[in-house]
A and B are shown apart, each in its own frame.
Chain A
């Protein structure tokens, strides 16, 4: 029986990217928050954010999507590329531990946690689980993420 989980993919399980980093800039956060439509001043209004419990702007929960392309590059740097031509996001889990602020340098590491496969209505389907840890420049874990990406040959 053919399997989508080739020996090459099996060998990726447990492998981790080198750390990749992203500098959080105020203007980028403000544009992101306004785009998404966050009404809270601590995400989008610098002056009113100062008077809030956060004392300034913080990034909204889904902001770290900006590091996704850096993750792809970090995996490519260790020879891990997209397993199949067609991919979609299946699921994401995030644990939010510390706020992310403009001026932070976020350092991330991602690893291939597992592969599994089953038939779906679109035929044989590969599930790729990627776990990422994001730390700030003080070494604090700010976000843990577990993504399931779905691939079709």
Chain B
């Protein structure tokens, strides 16, 4: 589960260098018909990548990530990242995972596919 406060949006603007005001300026968001600033799509992609790299660990590698932005999350809402292993490709030591974010209301707001390669055995 991921924090999505307005403060976090401002901090993310600084580290991502994406200064679209719809993510940080409430007046700007309201003029666009939104109740509050919205969570950066790229931040949700980063949360998804974080789940993928935690599965890969030190000796695995994230090879490919595809993210589809389906809906908005409003700052302050709880965003939950979930994932399942979708397919195994033992010949290539690869795993395909389906990962998605859920809004506070339970809607899928981002859905992704991650392809990881994993080590064949734990390092000594």
Q: Closest approach, in angstroms, between the C-beta of B70 and any C-beta of chain A?
A: 9
Task: List residues of A (57-104) whose CB comes within 8 Å of B's CBs.
Answer: 60-62, 65-66, 68-69, 88-96
Our count of residue pairs bridging A and B at CB distance below 8 angstroms stands at 86
Q: Are B15 and A28 in contact (CB under 8 A)?
A: yes
Q: Closest approach, in angstroms, between the C-beta of A6 and any C-beta of chain B?
A: 24
Q: Are A96 and B65 in contact (CB under 8 A)?
A: yes
Q: Are A91 and B43 in contact (CB under 8 A)?
A: no
Of A7-15, A29-37, A111-119, A129-137, the segment with at least 4 beta carbons within 8 Å of chain B is A29-37
Within 8 Å CB of B61, what residues of A?
A: 96
Within 8 Å CB of B49, what residues of A?
A: 36, 60-62
Task: List residues of A (4-61) whose CB comes within 8 Å of B's CBs.
Answer: 28, 31-32, 35-40, 42-43, 52-53, 60-61
Within 8 Å CB of A69, what residues of B?
A: 17-19
B104 part of interface (Cβ distance < 8 Å): no
B120 part of interface (Cβ distance < 8 Å): no
- Chain A contact surface mostly: mixed
Q: Are A92 and B66 in contact (CB under 8 A)?
A: yes
CA distance A96 to B64 in the complex (A): 6
Q: Are A65 and B18 in contact (CB under 8 A)?
A: yes
Query: Which one of A43, A62, A94 has the highest number of Cβ atoms from chain B below 10 Å of its Cβ?
Result: A62
Q: Are A61 and B62 in contact (CB under 8 A)?
A: yes
Query: What would be 15 A-B contacts, judged by CB atoms less than 8 Å apart?
Result: A31-B15, A35-B11, A35-B12, A36-B49, A37-B47, A40-B58, A43-B53, A60-B53, A61-B62, A62-B45, A65-B18, A88-B41, A91-B67, A92-B67, A96-B63
